[in-house]
Amino acid sequence: MEKKTVRDVDVHGKRVLVRVDFNVPISNGVVTDNSRVKAALPTIEYLINHGAKVILMSHLGRPKGVEDKLRLDPVAQTLADVLGKEVEKVDETIGPEAKEAVDKMKSGDVLLLENLRFDEREKKNDPEFAKELAGLADVYVDDAFGASHRAHASIVGVARYIPAVAGFLLEKEVDTLESLLKNPKRPLVAVLGGSKVSDKIGVIDKFLDIVDSLLIGGGMCFTFLKAQGYNIGKSLLEEDKIDYCRDAIKKAQEKNVNMYLPSDIVIAQEISPDTEARVVSVGSISDGWMGLDIGPDTISVYRGVVRGGRTIFWNGPMGVFEIDQFSRGTEEIAKAIVEATQAGATSVVGGGDSIAALKKYHLEEKVSFVSTGGGASLELLEGKQLPGVEVLLA
């Protein structure tokens, strides 16, 4: 990465303000998945070990003003548990209470500020709010990769007032995703699925320039199939993206990208666990039925391509994996990615639902890299500069 990191600044005895992504799922006051907290540990532990006063800040959910159920207290508890160390929590982001807590800190102490989005000025990148935040510290560290595509006060604004550097998670994310674009081991295989074509257009465009094979599944494949003239029944369709899909298919041919679309589909009349499901060829989807997973022939072709890859990127489930009878495509592709990884390929998985699928099959430890940022990963792969990265010291 061409930006300075925590390694490049003297943090000893300094107040270091770290933006983390602790936007975690909470149920009945308990954090139900601590992976994002764990992902920030390398930076936090480095800072503690180098004698910094560690001031952490994050957003959680989408509060309108102060909402008690979106306070960060459960997150502070989870962090204390995984860190094996006391974590102090204050009930505000800026203000006298926060200042006083910071003043009392000693080297190696950890403090967590309140949910940044309780203040509406956070999302507006308000300069006054950013200045107040920056006023709490001597150095700023961005380790919130998943939020770094947003020009918010805690991501972009603070960097204007104090020296700003990257944390280890941010560095690892940017390095991994950029090396996928720049010098991947070939063949480079991308597997794209999920619900919408429109969410992934930037990535499809970029991948058409760089990948060897592009496998399309999930809800988005039906707009492609429609563009090829198939009847898709009541499958997910983005009418206004049919032309785009037709062009993408043509572009793939021109650029010698092997683009794969499903040859068979699991269909049903409704999205439910006990409705009747059938496997049909793509040409035989009847009116009133919808495609909810890729079929067995498609799985077998896709598995072969994935296992032949030396770099594999996956974003977007192959079907409605939340329901067992539509989950086979996603599970089999995930397993093929793991097999390829065990045979020496580099695999990168991004996207909230794709990661949830990996977790469901207990495979998240078996791929090379799981990107913690959904939107941020996609924007980076599209070749965009992330606002949060751009403002860091070079």
Active site includes 375?
Answer: yes
149 CB-near residues (< 8 Å, 6+ apart): 373, 375, 376, 379, 380, 384, 386, 387, 388
Nearest CA-CA partner of 176 in 35, 40, 370: 370
Is 264 a binder of Mg ion (CB under 5 A)? no
Instruction: Using CB atoms within 10 Å of the CB of residue 201, give its burial: 0 to 12 exposed, 13 to 18 middle, 19+ buried.
Output: middle
**Do residues 115 and 123 lie in contact, with contact meaning Cβ atoms separated by under 8 Å?**
no
Residue of 261, 353, 380, 392 that binds Mg ion (CB under 5 A): 353
Cβ-based nearer residue to Mg ion, 42 or 352: 352
Is 163 a binder of Mg ion (CB under 5 A)? no
Show the DSSP H helices in 287-370 as ranges.
296-307, 328-342, 352-360
Cβ-based nearer residue to ligand ADP, 114 or 379: 379
Q: How many residues form the binding site for ligand ADP (CB under 6 A)?
A: 20
Is 95 a binder of Mg ion (CB under 5 A)? no
Cβ-based nearer residue to ligand ADP, 133 or 220: 220
Q: How many residues form the binding site for Mg ion (CB under 5 A)?
A: 2
From 7-15, 33-41, 253-261, 346-354, give the range in contact with ligand ADP by CB under 6 A: 346-354
Is 236 a binder of ligand ADP (CB under 6 A)? yes
Residue of 351, 363, 369, 391 that binds ligand ADP (CB under 6 A): 351
358-377: contacts with ligand ADP (CB under 6 A): 374
Helices 41-49 & 168-182 angle (0-180, nearest 10):
130
β-pairing, 369-370 vs 110-112, is unpaired
Active site includes 36?
Answer: yes
Is 316 a binder of ligand ADP (CB under 6 A)? yes
Phi, psi (rounded to 5 degrees) for 120 = -65, -15
Q: How far apart are CA 28 and CA 349, in angstroms?
A: 29
Tokens representing 110? 């950890």
In the chain, helix, strand, coil percent, each to 5?
40, 15, 40
Residue of 148, 154, 347, 354 that binds ligand ADP (CB under 6 A): 354
- Residue 195 binds which entry of ligand ADP, Mg ion, none, CB below 5-8 Å type-dependent: ligand ADP
* Residues 252-291: x where in contact with ligand ADP by CB under 6 A, - otherwise, as a string: ---------------------------------------x
Active site includes 255?
Answer: no
Q: How far apart are CA 180 and CA 194, in angstroms?
A: 21
The single residue of 3, 36, 89, 200 carrying the catalytic annotation is 36
**Do residues 2 and 166 lie in contact, with contact meaning Cβ atoms separated by under 8 Å?**
no
Cβ-based nearer residue to Mg ion, 305 or 334: 334
Cβ-based nearer residue to ligand ADP, 10 or 270: 270
Residue of 199, 212, 238, 331 that binds ligand ADP (CB under 6 A): 199
80 CB-near residues (< 8 Å, 6+ apart): 86, 87
**Do residues 54 and 48 lie in contact, with contact meaning Cβ atoms separated by under 8 Å?**
yes
Active site includes 160?
Answer: no
Identify the bridge partners of residue 214 per DSSP, sorted by sequence position.
190, 259
Cβ-based nearer residue to ligand ADP, 203 or 392: 203
User: Would you please indicate which residues are annotated as catalytic (active-site) residues?
Assistant: 36, 196, 352, 375
Residues that bind ligand ADP (CB under 6 A): 193-195, 199, 218-219, 236, 291-292, 315-317, 319-320, 322, 351-354, 374
Residues that bind Mg ion (CB under 5 A): 352-353
